[in-house]
Amino acid sequence: MHFNPYGGAAAELAASLVNSTAATDLQQLLDDADYKPLGSLDARQVGELRGWIRRLDAAFRAPSVRLLNELLAETTSEPYISTHDGRAPHLHFSRIDLPTVERVKAYTAMGLAELFCEAPERIGRCARAGCAMVFVDTSRNGRRRFCTTRCSNRVHVAEHRRRA
């Protein structure tokens, strides 16, 4: 499925943040996700972003209008049209002069909200017992149940062994 940039890339960044561990370098995660425009994260912003990640996790666990509206209300949202880096005009949901953590919060909240409005069933949590990974279902048919093929294979092999 093809999503607009906020329902796609921003929601996928939210999933990557939720799937991160305490040892994950969040600055590197943002860089790897090609999140632009970037500034650096100081220690306070990293702590704030880790708290935001817990809020995003709740949105993947049980997405709802109420919860997503709460996330949107917690951001410093101020939409404007940007043309940075030679790109075509596109929307940003926070001012460029805000700290990186505030921009990430607005971007991910908007991404999940956009995805929820467009296709709420595509906000996923792995169906394998014991796996806490989340994902954005970009499959053609929208029936993804597992975070990875590995989790899917584990469940299907276990089911096969139970039947055999």
* pLDDT of the chain, 164 residues: tens digit per residue: 555 555 588 999 999 999 999 999 999 999 888 776 567 899 999 999 999 999 999 999 999 999 999 999 999 778 888 887 788 898 888 888 889 999 999 999 999 999 999 999 999 999 999 999 999 998 888 889 999 989 999 988 888 888 88
Residue partners of 45: CB distance under 8 A and separation at least 6 = 99, 100, 101
Task: Tell me the CATH number for domain 6-120.
Answer: 1.10.3300.10
Q: In angstroms, rounded to a whole number, what is the distance separating the alpha carbons of residues 135 and 125?
A: 6
List the structure tokens of 53. Answer: 């990640």
Q: Among 13, 36, 32, which residue's Cα sits nearest to residue 85?
A: 36
> How big is the chain by its Cα radius of gyration, in Å?
17
For the chain, what are the domain ranges?
6-120
Let me know: does 23 contact 78? Beta carbons within 8 Å. no
Write down the residue that tokens 């040892």 correspond to: 23
Q: In angstroms, rounded to a whole number, what is the distance separating the alpha carbons of residues 59 and 123?
A: 9
